[in-house]
Amino acid sequence: MSDAPRTVTLWRPVGPEELALIRAAGSRAFPPRLPDQPIFYPVLTEEYAAKIARDWNVPASGAGYVTRFEVREDFLRTYAPQEAGGRDHLEYWIPAEELPAFNASIVGEITVVQSFP
């Protein structure tokens, strides 16, 4: 039997500044939230992340990226997916103060899977 933790694949749309901070952390953690960002919201599908990256990040910061990463299933059990504007728009709402624990539950690296210049 394997000792590897069970994981869930999640995605996160980011702009160039957040991507630079992720890379500065060795592609192993997301940066702390800003004061006006009370939650961290990874999403459940690549399609939804791409929509946000393209429709929000590009106009706001000139580029958008979709990141993919694995999170320990046991960590996510305490959170329920939230619907954000439609049944295909599901995301976890992680309180900003719990982001360090979320980061500690990431297994492997955060990778860029799509980019929108």
Which residue type sits at 40?
A: F
**Domain-embedded: residue 107:** yes
- pLDDT at position 88 is 81
**Distance (Å) of CA 15 to CA 1, 24, 55, 79, 87:** 40, 14, 11, 25, 24
CA-CA distance, 107 to 105, in Å (whole number)?
A: 6
Average pLDDT of 88-98? 94
Average pLDDT of 61-71? 98
Confidence band, pLDDT 50/70/90 cuts, at residue 1: low
Question: In CATH, what number is assigned to the domain containing residue 96?
Answer: 3.20.170
Confidence band, pLDDT 50/70/90 cuts, at residue 84: confident
The domain total for the chain is 1
Domain that holds residue 80: 7-111
Output the average pLDDT for the chain. Answer: 95
**Domain-embedded: residue 116:** no
**Distance (Å) of CA 41 to CA 5, 28, 94:** 22, 16, 6
